[in-house]
Amino acid sequence: MPMQTSQPTKTILRLELPTDPRWVNIAEKNIEEILVDHAYCEQKAASSGISLIVKYPDKTKLVEEMTELVAEEWSHFERVLAELKKRGYSLGRNRPDEYVVELTKHIRKGDRRERQLMDHLLVNALIEARSCERFKLLWKNIADEDLQKFYYELMVSEAGHYVSFVKLAKEYMPADEVDARLKELLAIEAEIIRNLQPRHDRMH
């Protein structure tokens, strides 16, 4: 899909390559598949928060914030399940998230612990930013009024998570280094989006 720069999105989330609005047409025509994939995205977000707690139990602020995030992401998972049930759908099979797989390849290995943590947090921030951007498109364009409200609420939540992950990275690494690495990862994220084939059964 050809994509155009959107200044508001770039200003708030700093994404360099916004989603083509026509993605909403694909999503709306395949809402069962999109909701199933969305459910698994929320589940994986909760699991990612748990993994950070397990890997960095000595980071008190991280543990506190990830505990809250895990609870919120799991509540989102439950809400998506409710939307599936309301429409007579069931939770289908899990499917690989190529976007997340490609993005996590850029978490540097063998580096010092705090720098690895920074990369983990910033990759999570970018996943939240892209999800927020997709939820905004659904909120503004989808015909289903219940889903409009649902995705507006999740859009606001994901934006908050994005900000929290970036701030948390700055708790453990100098702000200028975090900003520089975030800029690098934003460029990488844009290239990943550019090269991914649009899928009717994916949120990302």
Q: What is the pLDDT of residues 103-160, one digit of tens each?
A: 999 999 877 899 999 999 999 999 999 999 999 999 998 889 999 999 999 999 999 9
Which of 23-32, 50-59, 67-76, 143-152 shows the lowest per-residue confidence on average (mean pLDDT)? 23-32
Q: Is residue 59 part of a domain?
A: yes
Q: Is residue 14 part of a domain?
A: no
Number of structural domains (the chain) is 1
Q: Is residue 202 part of a domain?
A: no
Q: Is residue 203 part of a domain?
A: no
Specify the pLDDT at position 3. 32
Which residue matches tokens 């939540």?
A: 157
Structural domain that includes position 85 = 25-195
Confidence grade of residue 11 (pLDDT, cut at 50, 70, 90):
low
Q: Is residue 2 part of a domain?
A: no
Q: What is the pTM of this model?
A: 0.91
Q: Does position 9 have pLDDT exceeding 60, yes or no?
A: no
Q: Is residue 95 part of a domain?
A: yes
Q: Is residue 13 part of a domain?
A: no
Specify the pLDDT at position 182. 97
Q: Does position 101 have pLDDT exceeding 80, yes or no?
A: yes
CATH of the domain at 161: 1.20.1260.10
Tokens encoding 87: 């429409």
Q: Is residue 154 part of a domain?
A: yes
